[in-house]
Structure 1
Amino acid sequence: MNSIKTLTIGLGVAGLLGGISSQAMAHDEEALRQAPPASPYVKVSDALPLPEFIPGLGTLFVDPDTLPAGPFLAYDREGQLSATVYMTPLAALEEGAAFNDMAVGLHPVDSVDIYYNAGHPGVDEPHAHVVLFHDSEAKARLTP
């Protein structure tokens, strides 16, 4: 599938996120606001053959123990956390896997994009990108 289909969901995402457990919410948001986040997060471009800044996603950091789904913390060129990204393998979803209690970089979410990706270094299999933008300007900051 060569085309990328994007579904943008507006402010109604708050209801979707309401089911995230308090365990997933139990981290220091302030410590994640500026890059680089503390351990256990690593810069994806240091670990994989990917550019440091990926247009549309920014500079990504991930806790290796949460792969492949993430969350990936997406920072803009100024080092501000702009989005939380999940990369959920389609085969796992088709087999009935659930990805529960996933952390969110920042709890406020302005909008969400969900789109298909055929695979790339780090998540080689087809998967869905679920991108939670944390403010109304975040998507613009992550584009070239």
Structure 2
Amino acid sequence: MKSSVFALVTAIALTSAPALAHDEEALKSAPPGEPYVQVSDVLPLPEFIPGLGTLFVDPETLPAGPFLSYDHAGKLSATVYMTPLEELENGTAYEGLAIGSHTVSSAEVYYNAGHPGVDKPHAHIVLYHDGDARTRLAK
């Protein structure tokens, strides 16, 4: 299981950078603008989710995302993907996923049982964009 998670994170990191077709500078501060919508405006979720921050997503990229994660000051802190486990088990590949910033200081992958927007069990893949991002998103 650990090797498949590592392979997933590696694949996302390697395929995301070339797929960027947006102005990275425009995404550094919230709100990121079209086509992104604030997740809390369209789903019954709080505006700021401890551990994930204030999330924005292009609805066309659901369920995987990317979800752009901003801290309380509106600074882009992480890019988050939410990949349903059932779809991964059935062979779905999420290729060419965009990222909010080319700078990635660390990554985390963890299980989520489901929540509004991605109801089925899924993996959260979080790419932090600087060394303090995780701390800023924690509370």
TM-score, reference length from structure 2: 0.90
Q: Which residue of 2 aligns with 1:42?
A: 37
Offset at residue 27 of structure 1 (A): 1.3
Contact residue 83 and residue 131 of structure 1 kept, 8 A: yes
1:85: how far off?
0.1
Partner of 1:18 in structure 2?
A: 14
Q: CA deviation at 1:15?
A: 8.6
SS of residue in 2 equivalent to 1:18: helix
Aligned to 2:28: 33
1:3: which partner in 2? none
Q: Give the TM-score taking structure 1 as reference length.
A: 0.87
- Residues 72 and 86 in structure 1, CA contact (< 8 A), matched pair in contact too: yes
Structure 1's unaligned 5+ residue stretches are 1-8
Which residue of structure 2 lines up, in the alignment, with residue 76 of structure 1? 71
Asked whether the equivalents of residues 14 and 109 of structure 1 are also in contact (C-alpha less than 8 Å), the reply is no
Find out whether 1:99 has 2:94 as its counterpart: yes
Give the superposition deviation at 1:21: 5.8
Contact 1:106 1:134 in 2 (8 A): yes
Alignment of 1:85-124 (within 5 A): 85-124=80-119
What residue ranges of structure 2 are gaps of 5+ in the alignment?
A: 1-5
Percent identical among aligned pairs is 65
Task: Identify, as 1 or 2, the structure richer in helix.
Answer: 2
- RMSD between aligned residues: 1.7
